[in-house]
Amino acid sequence: MNQHEEIAGRFGSGQSVQRIEDEGLLKGLGQFTDDIVPESQLRLAFLRSPYPHARIVSIDAQAAQAMPGVKLVLTAQSLDGFKPMALNAGFKRPDGSAGASPVRHVLASGKVHFVGEAVAAVIADTAEQARDALEAIAVEYDPLPHVAGLDAALAAGAPALCEAAPDNIAAEARHGDATACDAAFAGAAHVVRLAIDNQRVAALTLEPRSVLAWVAEDGRLTLRMSSQMPSGVRNSIADVTGIAKDRLRVTVGDVGGGFGMKTGAYPEDIVTAWAAWKLQRPVKWVADRSEEFVSTAHGRDLRSEAELALAADGRILGLRLRSHANVGAYAMATGVAIQLLIGPWVQTSVYHVPVIDFRLRAVLTNQAPTGAYRGAGRPEAIYSMERLMDEAARQTGIDRVTLRRRNFIRPDQMPYRNPMGQVYDSGEFERIMDRGLAQADWDGFEARAAASRAQGKLRGLGIATFLEWTSGNSFQERVTYDVRADGVIEVFSAVNQMGQGIATTLAQLVVDVFGVPLDKVRVVLGDTDRGDGFGSAGSRSAFVGGSAVHVGAQRTLDEARKLAAKSLEAAEGDLDYAAGRFSVRGTDVGVGLFELAAGESGQRIHIESTSEVGGPSWPNGCHVSEVEIDPQTGVVEVVRYSSVNDVGRVLNPMIVRGQLDGGAVQGMGQALCEAMVYEPESGQPITGSLMDYAAPRADIMAGDFVTEMDTAVPCRTNPLGVKGVGELGTIGATPCIVNAVADALARAGKAQLAPTLQMPLTPPRLWAALNG
């Protein structure tokens, strides 16, 4: 083994290299937005609506403006030149008219549409002064009738949120062939029907939304913020405020979690930026936890009527879906697309479904808007499909493993085009299930169930076989390389870190190509001046961003080879490269990579590289869980959890396992305890703090937790063979746990309860079901 191979073997891809991000974070040296405190920094606070729906009669801010330390008070009137925020683009209403939504301003203008909507902003010397001044702002509201949830919004004669949607339907999408699907159902031996709710949840990142804005020495408006997509934030600020895009720069440092919730610009980001621009002073806003609960984008909130038609032997003939998505007070483009398009892309999952008929509607309510949350539409779709498969097994009497096996898409059908037109490049779904069943000791369950019965517990066995779509359909990425004379290879990418270890993964890919120690690689992320990219969302960072880093490294090495050939007066084909050094084959004549950099302009070899992957990746898995239910209390314990995940090539097993495990626990949280709840009568959020919102804790997983990665089927759409994994665990865990609870009830002679289960499966809810 030569030195190059030794270094790559120790620090390159495929190894569980310790994360390079961790040392600074563990030493308290992290640079989160609130850690940066520039001289003369001002603080901003928002006045928020206490009403779910009301007309703003007047706002008097004179007293607030005169309070100590207050520098500026902003209302919609003082932002008169601002454009509204972009809303539902490209979708139509049921009658064919344009998608509808109330107009969203960064500060409420004319009306407020949900509790927590920002009405005014105060900028003062300190956060305390800004908050005190909020109380001096006199707002007169004229309360209007409200609709706090789908039932209220869809009821006959319900108050309308905007004139263009008198029925509160913001948009509708239809997919498939209704006539062919009707024929499939008419000829079916079995039809399975379920009413399925995916409840509203909060993203709950450790670091709340945070933004610091200032005017830099070059006269440009600069932001440091907690974001997954800085380029998108910059573009939105420019669109709304009219500040030229080239006068804006957005940077990102450490990010304490994103989960999709930090993928775009919020009104608060734009107001903070404008305040700094207007005052020519640094202005910072950091959300408190209560603000996060009421005003950040929530996830899920989808109600579906799902029907599956099957032949006598259990083969799927057709799938019919009628869904209503509560997109909240404003039909934001992301929230609408997630439920009307992205989720449906994976609705048929790993199964061959000949025909579909989907009718999906986005509904306006007086609640916070919904947006991306880990999985973004795919968990909802997979949940309904896996619930249908288990219920179909119960109703037909066909074993649920056999039923799945009978309907899997086969490897010889790849590439496979599903009924939504999405093309799966690869997948061996039956083999993954077989491996998952063996790992979980599926056949040994009865003995464990008997032991549980002896302790007065109901034990259930759950399964989910599924796939996931990744990329955000953004396939291109640009990277820059600087091989520096000081012995460092610096690479910049527009993907972002948010706790997932992406800097380490990218650095390992650099080591693969250059064969230098990991400490010779510097990964720089999060700066719109250096890279204008999509950012990190849709589990694209490794398979799109990593592929770009790999291609860029090869191109940089090719350029260095040309320089070495010139320096050594040799043909490029006669040069060998290993561990940072070129040598003339068969001789001891050579030159170092960093020596070459020293002879170049600026003492660096600089390359800009843009590349793209050929399409999405389709990771998939088989998750198996076992639960125990205490019938006396309704408490559910997850006593075993096992998963086999087809993730293609693995770049860092430790990081991938962390993503899969963390995602699974988040999925368990939705299944068992999480719900963002509004009181129908008042429209008030009643889970607005961690005293009320039941977030999953480490003890949600009480027993064995085994996670394995299957690397036998590389992705064919990118040069690394990598598949996105950041959301896979979440997608599998939720149906897996609920199916286990349904199985426990069925085994206890209460099979009639299985189709009625709705998340979260809290102890009071299960106790009530068990006791009639």
How many other CB atoms sit within 10 Å of the CB of residue 548?
28
For residues 594 and 485, is the Cβ–Cβ distance under 8 A? yes
Which ranges of 491-602 would DSSP assign to H, the alpha helix? 502-514, 547-568, 593-598
Please provide the DSSP assignment of 77-121 as one string.
GGGTTPPPPP---S-B-TTSSBP------SS--SEE-STT-EEEE
pLDDT tens digits, one per residue of 316-350: 999 999 999 999 999 999 999 999 999 999 999 99
Please compute the mean of the pLDDT values over residues 658-670 and round it to a whole number: 96
DSSP-based three-state secondary structure for 171? strand
Residue 308 has pLDDT above 90, yes or no: yes
For residues 594 and 486, is the Cβ–Cβ distance under 8 A? yes
For residues 421 and 341, is the Cβ–Cβ distance under 8 A? no
Q: In the chain, pLDDT over 90 holds for what percent of residues?
A: 94
Cα four-point dihedral sign 511, 514, 515, 519:
negative
Q: Parallel, antiparallel, or unpaired: how do β-strands 581-584 and 575-578 relate? A: antiparallel
Between 45-59, 228-242, 285-299, 529-543, the lowest mean confidence (pLDDT) is in 529-543
Q: Please report, for the chain, the start and end positions of each structural domain, with discontinuous segments joined by +.
A: 3-30+472-612, 33-144+209-286, 299-470+616-770
- The rounded Cα 318 to chain-centroid distance in angstroms is 29
Q: What is residue 91's predicted lDDT score, i.e. its pLDDT?
A: 95
pLDDT tens digits, one per residue of 185-212: 999 999 999 999 999 999 999 999 999 9
Please compute the mean of the pLDDT values over residues 683-707 and round it to a whole number: 94
> Residue 37 to residues 31, 180, 211, 336: CA-CA distances in angstroms?
11, 63, 12, 37
DSSP-based three-state secondary structure for 701? strand
- In angstroms, the CA 468 to CA 464 distance is 12
Residue 97 has pLDDT above 80, yes or no: yes
CATH for the stretch 33-144+209-286: 3.90.1170.50
For the chain, first and last CA: distance in Å? 69
- 114: closest CA among 370, 415, 429? 370
Tokens 């396992």 map to which residue?
657
Compute the mean pLDDT over every residue in the chain, rounded to the nearest whole number. 96
- In angstroms, the CA 104 to CA 83 distance is 9
Please compute the mean of the pLDDT values over residues 494-515 and round it to a whole number: 94
Return the exposure string of 576-596: e unless at least 16 CB atoms fall within 10 Å of the residue's CB, then b. ebbbbbbbbeeeeebbebbbb
Q: How confident is the model at residue 437 (pLDDT cuts 50, 70, 90)?
A: very high
Give the H/E segment covering residue 291. Answer: helix 289-295
Tokens 């009527």 map to which residue?
305
- The rounded Cα 471 to chain-centroid distance in angstroms is 11
Q: How confident is the model at residue 378 (pLDDT cuts 50, 70, 90)?
A: very high
- In angstroms, the CA 302 to CA 585 distance is 64
List beta partners, residue 54.
Answer: 112, 143
- Longest CA span, the chain: 87
Q: How confident is the model at residue 635 (pLDDT cuts 50, 70, 90)?
A: very high
- The rounded Cα 604 to chain-centroid distance in angstroms is 37
Q: How confident is the model at residue 54 (pLDDT cuts 50, 70, 90)?
A: very high
Q: How confident is the model at residue 472 (pLDDT cuts 50, 70, 90)?
A: confident
Cα four-point dihedral sign 585, 589, 594, 599:
negative
For residues 225 and 250, is the Cβ–Cβ distance under 8 A? yes
For residues 505 and 655, is the Cβ–Cβ distance under 8 A? yes
Return the amino acid letter for 80.
D
Residue 9 has pLDDT above 80, yes or no: no
- In angstroms, the CA 46 to CA 60 distance is 15
For residues 276 and 315, is the Cβ–Cβ distance under 8 A? no
Cα four-point dihedral sign 502, 503, 508, 509:
positive
Please, which residues have CB within 8 angstroms of residue 160's CB and are 6 or more apart in sequence? Answer: 166, 167, 168
Please, which residues have CB within 8 angstroms of residue 702's CB and are 6 or more apart in sequence? Answer: 637, 638, 639
Please, which residues have CB within 8 angstroms of residue 649's CB and are 6 or more apart in sequence? Answer: 13, 14, 711, 714, 715, 720, 721, 722
Please, which residues have CB within 8 angstroms of residue 584's CB and are 6 or more apart in sequence? Answer: 568, 570, 574, 575, 576, 590
Cα four-point dihedral sign 741, 746, 747, 749:
positive
For residues 531 and 571, is the Cβ–Cβ distance under 8 A? no
List beta partners, residue 436.
Answer: none
- 384: closest CA among 409, 354, 414, 353? 353
The beta strands (E) that lie in 597-751 are given as 604-612, 620-629, 636-646, 701-710
Half-sphere exposure of 513 (CA within 13 A, CB side): 26
Please provide the DSSP assignment of 632-667 as one string.
TT--EEEEEEEEEEE-BS-S-HHHHHHHHHHHHHHH
Please, which residues have CB within 8 angstroms of residue 218's CB and are 6 or more apart in sequence? Answer: none
Return the amino acid letter for 736.
C
The 8-class DSSP code of residue 329 comes to S
- In angstroms, the CA 180 to CA 309 distance is 12
Q: Calculate Rg over the CA atoms of the chain.
A: 27
- The rounded Cα 738 to chain-centroid distance in angstroms is 22
Please compute the mean of the pLDDT values over residues 412-420 and round it to a whole number: 98
> For residue 635, what are its two tokens?
């408490």
Q: How confident is the model at residue 1 (pLDDT cuts 50, 70, 90)?
A: low
Please compute the mean of the pLDDT values over residues 558-576 and round it to a whole number: 96
- In angstroms, the CA 297 to CA 367 distance is 10
> Residue 490 to residues 11, 124, 540: CA-CA distances in angstroms?
16, 40, 21
For residues 212 and 283, is the Cβ–Cβ distance under 8 A? yes
- The rounded Cα 687 to chain-centroid distance in angstroms is 22
In words, the CATH class of domain 299-470+616-770 is alpha beta
CATH topology of domain 3-30+472-612: Aldehyde Oxidoreductase; domain 4 (3.30.365)
Q: How confident is the model at residue 522 (pLDDT cuts 50, 70, 90)?
A: very high
- The rounded Cα 258 to chain-centroid distance in angstroms is 7
**Quick check: do 3-30+472-612 and 299-470+616-770 share a fold?**
yes
- In angstroms, the CA 4 to CA 513 distance is 9
Return the exposure string of 368-394: e unless at least 16 CB atoms fall within 10 Å of the residue's CB, then b. bbbbbbbbbbbbbbbbbbbbbbbbbbb
pTM exceeds 0.75: yes
For residues 94 and 85, is the Cβ–Cβ distance under 8 A? no
